[in-house]
Structure 1
Amino acid sequence: MIHRYATFIKAVNLTIDYIILNLSMVISYFIEDKSYISWISNKNYLPIVLVFNLIWLLSANVTGLYEQVLNKDSIKTYRGLIKTYLLFVSFICFTIIILIGTKAYFITREYLFYSLALFGFLLGFWKLIFLSIRRSDRALLIDSRSAIVIGGGRIGNDLHNFFKNNPSRGYKVIGFFDDNSESIIDKKLYLGATQDCISYVIANKVDEIFCTLPSSESAKIERLMLDADKNLIRFKFIPDYYDYGVKPTSIQSFGHIPVISIRPEPLENILNRFIKRVFDVLFSLFIILFVFSWLFPILAIIIKMQSKGPVFFVQARSGRDNKSFNCYKFRSMKVNNDSDSKQATRDDDRITKIGKFMRKTSLDELPQFFNVLIGNMSVVGPRPHMLKHTEQYSALIDKFMVRHFLKPGITGWAQVRGLRGETKTTEEMLGRVEADVWYLENWSFLLDLKIIFLTFWNAVKGEENAF
């Protein structure tokens, strides 16, 4: 993607961040300082201003905060901002409190707290404004480029459709070059054979070439690449392993051999797994101690009063690596023989009155926080399915088992997007699976927090598919 004002927007972000930083320091100065000396003429204060500004520049450079400001989504933007802010606070505390000392420049710990807290708040608010502006006006920041595609077939036509449906990418496909005109779906876009490509690009001042020829035509591809380089034409190649559904998001080199992962898995990183596990334990302990402890006896009494049977419902579910585990829930149905095979349906006569309320508010899932503490579930992840359903849908949906690379969760990306409740068709289950795989490939700690917030919000306002 080519952005016309990328450097300008980067400079604007940097400038406004510095204005916010210095404004926070000035405001904090007036709040804390009792000397009634103007901040601009206070010689003891100005060196601290310099330290703050230099350390923010250092922190931003370390984390790459201002790189690709127009490409990062909201989660990546805030994740980078939080990393930079925490690094900045650490450097400030170390530099001023430990190395310089607060007495040397008459800087109090209260001043440091006020200035850092105010800066963090204003910075977060400004980034929210920036993201809102960027979202509405991003099209104005895109520099459109003309392109031609060498090679028709599925890859070439898919690429054309992608650019057509995503104008924000900034590419306009003029047409196709291919030695076989029949491979071009839209005949009006056929421009000629591959040997005529370079001369056409030069004559019409086309910006870029996208080559989708198969690797079996390596001699032809190499010739086109050399000719493009000689004439200062940007040449991009789409490899034919695209046909296998591979998304080359991670490339490693084993010597001279490139190895491409078919999907990113952030939770394969041991640090990410550690962060997620620590959060799972702390969050589960909080819920168990401050919610489950007093709510359990109330729900237990009502459950026992409305129907015979145990308070808890225990069922074998599919977990990580497809290993089964006992999943705990508050019993929301009358005891029946179909619980291990039949899904709950709308107006299901097996559901008790209290069960209907618990399922609507997701309170029946509370005991699963013990599953999280044990370690066979996570707070956020794909919902665990009955063993029979895992066997059934794994035979119908190709990527169904991919979701089992992760621990199952009490809530998940599919659930907050409304993909919950009874799955009457394979297409409905496919929607869940796609959402779970997307979560697997795009996990971040901020995404988990977002899902937890949306889960609570949906529980408060009610969900149509929660029954």
Structure 2
Amino acid sequence: MVYRYSAFIKILNLFIDYLLLNVSMFIAYLIVDGRGVQITTSKYLPIVMMFNLIWLLSTNITGLYERVLNKDSIRTYQGFFKTYLLFVSLISFIIIIIGTSFYLITREYLLYSVILFGFLVGSWKFIFLIIRKSKRNLLMDSRNIIIVGSGPIGMNIFEYFEHNKHSGYKVLGFFDDKASRIPAIGLYLGSIDDCIGYVLENGVDEIFCALPISQTNRIEQLMTEADKHLIRFKIVPEYYINPKRSMFVQNFDHIPIISIRQEPLESMANRLIKRVFDIVFSLFVIIFIFSWLFPILAIIIKLQSRGPVFFVQTRSGKDNKPFKCYKFRSMRVNNDSDIQQAKRGDPRITTIGAFIRKTSLDEFPQFFNTLIGNMSVVGPRPHMIIHTEQYSQLVDKFMVRHFLKPGITGWAQINGFRGETKTTEDMLQRVEADVWYLENWSFLLDLKIIFLTFWNVIKGDEKAF
């Protein structure tokens, strides 16, 4: 659906939700303070900031404000409840760690503010849905269009609009010098030369030009005429990529260049943000977790089986350059580790190995890989060299994942595509998830993946073995 005010409505929803969050906290403050419970104002302000930041994180993880005008009522409330439960869970988790006494805030205050916030935002979503339903015609910006050229490209764009009525575009018909190309009765409007006249007489909003490149002169003539009469003119390229792929257009001076995918990490600024986070996060884990975890696991690993504490394997890295990947050894020393994946009930796995694999503790040494710079906290999981050679011949986009540094965790892993890949279809799903991450990276997405990885460890992952 084409909407006039989609960006404004999204910002409005975000603003009102934050307003209600802070109003809820203020009302809870008045209620508790009015009952004689003393809350230090200087200690109250950090709680306000914490609540606002946690709501920001929760909405970005669930995508609450995405497509606010397109979601139906059920999906709108599903998204709200999911976000609200995550918000409450994160607050509860922080309270368990630091306690309420740290900020001199009572549990009663927290309970009032959270419940009041849920009620107010839930009520606001109901009001918003009623307003949206009654004003949908005002919000929707429907447009009448015509298509010039009825070849395969023109028919493809027509079929898209026919199957996506919500897009807001209504196709009035085709203009082509060969009427026989148009199978649908009543859609032929005339020859290409009749196009501009029809557009002016019938209030057409846009022209979609699907003529082949061999008719460049006709295309330029139509474009010039459309500009003269303030008619929007759009060109459908003669060659376009598989519709499942994303693409965008860059301009090198006057030359349009179609890129088959957008890569946010091609930006130096984004790479810097990701690298700084990798260093800070890795140092935190190494200093505060690995420092005491290592001696404990090292002793148990050595007691249970002969061999080194660390398992070091050459794997495929960024740009397909090999690197040494470190893990805690979870198997008995064997000759098949470089060619055979671990499988459920694998006899090579030791008792402590089964535990650290289930909890992903075996991956902790990879924070040193991240600190060095040949891995990242989040990214496609690195594969054995033999698997890279094998699957690069079977899966078309397999090598695309190597545009990124491999990660300790990734989008594929939190979506269930981890563990043994028994079939080519299993690997295809993993690769598609990795490519999606490549095309949609953001810092908040990395935070979301890290949180969900931690959550999966707590609740247990059936594919972790």
Query: Structure 1 198/270 Cα, relative in aligned 2: closer, same or farther at 3 Å?
Result: same
Work out which of the residue numbers 414, 421, 424 in structure 1 matches 2:412.
414
* Partners of 1:343 and 1:134 in 2: CA distance: 54
Are 2:378 and 2:446, in contact at CA under 8 Å, matched by a contact in 1?
yes
Q: Which runs of 5+ in 2 are unaligned?
A: 32-65, 72-113
| SS of structure 1 residue aligned to 2:146 | strand
Q: For the residues of structure 2 that align with 1:6 and 1:364, how far apart are their CA atoms? A: 46
Residue among 308, 331, 337 paired with 1:310:
308
Equivalent residue in structure 2 for 1:372, among 360, 370, 373? 370
- Cα deviation, residue 10, structure 1: 7.3
Q: Please report how far the alpha carbon of residue 220 of structure 1 lies from its aligned counterpart in structure 2 after TM superposition.
A: 2.4
Q: Counterparts of 1:226-237 in structure 2 under 5 Å?
A: 226-229=224-227, 232-237=230-235
- The equivalent position to 1:453 in structure 2, one of 451, 454, 461, is 451
AA at the equivalent of 2:250: I
Distance 1:414 1:12, change over 3 A: closer
User: Partner of 2:99 in structure 1?
Assistant: none
Q: Cα RMSD (Å) of the superposition?
A: 4.4
**CA contact 2:315–2:323 (8 Å) conserved in 1:** yes
Give 1:114-153 correspondences, 5 Å limit: 140=136, 141-153=139-151
Matches within 5 A, 1:204-353: 205-229=203-227, 232-243=230-241, 248-254=247-253, 256-353=254-351
Structure 2 counterpart of 1:191, from 188, 192, 195: 188
Aligned-partner SS, 1:465: coil
Which residue of structure 1 lines up, in the alignment, with residue 89 of structure 2?
A: none
CA 1:251/1:395 → structure 2, altered by over 3 Å: closer, same or farther? Answer: same
Report the equivalent of 1:463.
Answer: 461
Q: CA deviation at 1:456?
A: 0.7
Distance in 1, Cα, partners of 2:310 & 2:262: 38
Query: 1:177 Cα deviation (Å)?
Result: 4.3
- Residue deviations 1:46-100, cap 9 Å, x none? xxxxxxxxxxxxxxxxxxxxxx996999xxxxxxxxxxxxxxxxxxxxxxxxxxx
State the one-letter code of the partner of 1:393. Answer: Y
The 1:461–1:404 alpha-carbon spacing in structure 2 relative to 1, beyond 3 Å, is same
Contact 1:179 1:192 in 2 (8 A): no
Partner secondary structure for residue 240 of structure 2: helix
Partners of 1:163 and 1:359 in 2: CA distance: 49
Match of 2:396 in 1: 398
Deviations 1:262-310 (A, max 9, x none): 4322222222222111111111111122222222233233333433332
CA contact (8 A) 2:210 2:235 kept: yes
Q: Which moved more, 1:7-16 or 1:274-283?
A: 7-16
1:70–1:134 contact (8 Å) kept in structure 2: no
1:2-54 CA-to-partner distances (Å, cap 9, x unmatched) read 31445873785698599779979999x999xxxxxxxxxxxxxxxxxxxxxxx
Extract unaligned runs of 5+ from structure 1.
32-67, 74-120
Structure 1 pair 21–334 and aligned structure 2 pair: CA distance change class (3 A): closer
Q: CA deviation at 1:463?
A: 2.1
Q: By how many angstroms is 1:462 displaced?
A: 1.8
Query: Contact conserved, 1:155 with 1:243, CA < 8 A, in 2?
Result: no
CA distance, structure 2, for counterparts of residue 358 and residue 182 of structure 1: 68
For 1:381, which of 372, 379, 383 is the aligned residue?
A: 379
> CA distance change for structure 1 residues 72 and 174 in 2, over 3 Å: closer, same or farther?
closer
Q: Is the 8 A contact 2:411 2:433 kept in 1?
A: yes
With normalisation by structure 2, the TM-score equals 0.68
Alpha-carbon offset, residue 333 of structure 1: 2.2
Kindly provide the amino acid, as one letter, of the partner of residue 381 in structure 1.
G
Q: Contact 2:173 / 2:189 at 8 angstroms: preserved in 1?
A: no
Q: 1:338 to 1:249 in 2, by over 3 A?
A: same
> Does the 8 A contact of 2:264 with 2:439 survive in 1?
yes
- Matched-pair contact (CA < 8 Å) for 2:317–2:405: yes
8 Å CA contact 2:147–2:154 kept in 1: the answer is yes
> Aligned-pair distance for 1:329?
1.1
Task: Write the distance in 2 (CA, Å) between the matches of 1:456 and 1:197.
Answer: 59
Q: Deviations over 1:329-372 (max 9, x none)?
A: 12222322222112222333333333233222222111111111
- 1: CA distance between counterparts of 2:147 and 2:361? 54
Distance 2:68 2:232 in 1: 22
Range with greater deviation from structure 2 (404-413 or 196-205)? 196-205
Cα offset, 1:176, TM superposition: 4.3
- Quickly say closer, same or farther: Cα 1:324–1:15, change in 2 above 3 A: closer
Q: 1:182 to 1:341 in 2, by over 3 A?
A: farther
2:9 equivalent in structure 1: 9
Q: 1:324: Cα distance to partner?
A: 0.3
Match of 1:249, as an amino acid? F
The change in CA–CA distance for 1:303 and 1:133 in structure 2 (over 3 A counts) is farther
Kept in 2: contact 1:377–1:409 (CA 8 A): yes
- Displacement of 1:315 in angstroms is 0.7
* Distance in 2 separating the partners of 1:409 and 1:7: 34
Alpha carbons 1:179, 1:194 under 8 Å: kept: yes
Task: State the TM-score, normalized to the length of structure 1.
Answer: 0.68
How far apart, in 2, do the equivalents of 1:70 and 1:23 lie? 23
